[in-house]
Amino acid sequence: MPRATDTGRLGSTGLRITRLGLGTAPLGGLYEPVSDEAAEATITKAWDLGLRFFDTAPQYGNGLAERRLGAFLAGQPRDSYVLCTKVGRLLRRPAQAVGEDAYYKGTPPERPVFDFSYDGVMRSFEESLERLGTGRIDVLHIHDPDDHYDEAVAGAYRALDRLRSDGLIGAIGAGMNQSEMLASFARAGRFDCFLLAGRYTLLEQGALADFLPLCERQGIGVIIGGVYNSGVLANPAPGAKFNYADADPALIARARDLDAACARHGVPLKAAAIQFPAAHPAVATILTGARNAAEIAENEALFRHPIPAALWEDLRAGGLIDPAAPTP
């Protein structure tokens, strides 16, 4: 049975991270506002539970999540946690007033602007240091370069490689909602880790074909996010979300089949969902988002919920997971 406070090495780097980490997109007001007090209580609870890996990004609340996380971490010994943020979006105030952000609510007036150039990434790094109130970032990812691969390789990767060589960051990676481009990055440069969100879950195991074996061979640490696939694996009811949009009825039906199989073994679907990806040898940690202290406490408990081997055997026999997928 995994424990959130277990630690492992992030790929071939010297960084050791807890097997469960806190993702801070919800603390930036994803879909609904979150107060400063609720954000602080959430991070405090994660810390009290022993989580020491924290992931954020300029996009999360248009700088709000970075500032909130930095305010809490300022009171902790710098070598007692691993901090990750991202580059590829600069925060700039529009020349003319714009409406509320499409995804993040209750945020500052700045809006993200894509910039994967060498100079843009260097500016993004310096601005994140300021918002986080720190002099060091441990892991720095290229964030969502789906439509900017060439610029990301020619500009962003060179900047990150320079920052790593200069000792200003400990590890470089990329964070995306697809595994195919991450595999291309792995072949194009010397990456330490990748963040894959929503593409290695109980519902999706396509990353087993190329990406995960490639990372395992190259010693690249994988961080898995989005284990509930935007909600359908948390509550597979009509109207559930998948990949940030309304889930297709066929996906909801498959999630219900997974839920029924889990119920036959007395296991919450969410427990199976949060533990399943952690079994792959390339996976270093699971990121879980939370918007309040109760949510992070629940996810930590689910991560260590006992799961009988018979459940995984039944999921394989029923064709509900890839037979090649490692299980806890």
Q: So which residues are the catalytic ones?
A: 55, 60, 86
- Taken in order 252, 258, 259, 260, the sign of the CA dihedral is positive
Residue linked to tokens 């918002």: 131
Q: Which residues of 188-226 are buried (b: 16+ CB within 10 A; e: fewer)?
A: eeebbbbbbbbbbbbbbbebbeebbbbbeeeebbbbbbb
In the chain, DSSP assigns E strands to 7-9, 16-18, 20-23, 53-55, 82-87, 89-92, 111-114, 137-143, 169-176, 193-197, 221-225, 241-242, 245-246, 283-289
In this structure, are residues 37 and 69 in contact, taking their beta carbons and an 8 Å threshold?
no
Surface-to-core class of residue 301, CB atoms within 10 Å of its CB (0-12 exposed, 13-18 middle, 19+ buried) = middle
The Cα 158–Cα 174 span in angstroms is 13
Q: Considering only CA atoms, which of 261, 259, 258, 225 is closest in space to residue 244?
A: 225
In this structure, are residues 293 and 45 in contact, taking their beta carbons and an 8 Å threshold?
yes
Helix or strand (DSSP H, E) at 295: helix 293-303
What's the gap between Cα 269 and its chain centre?
A: 20
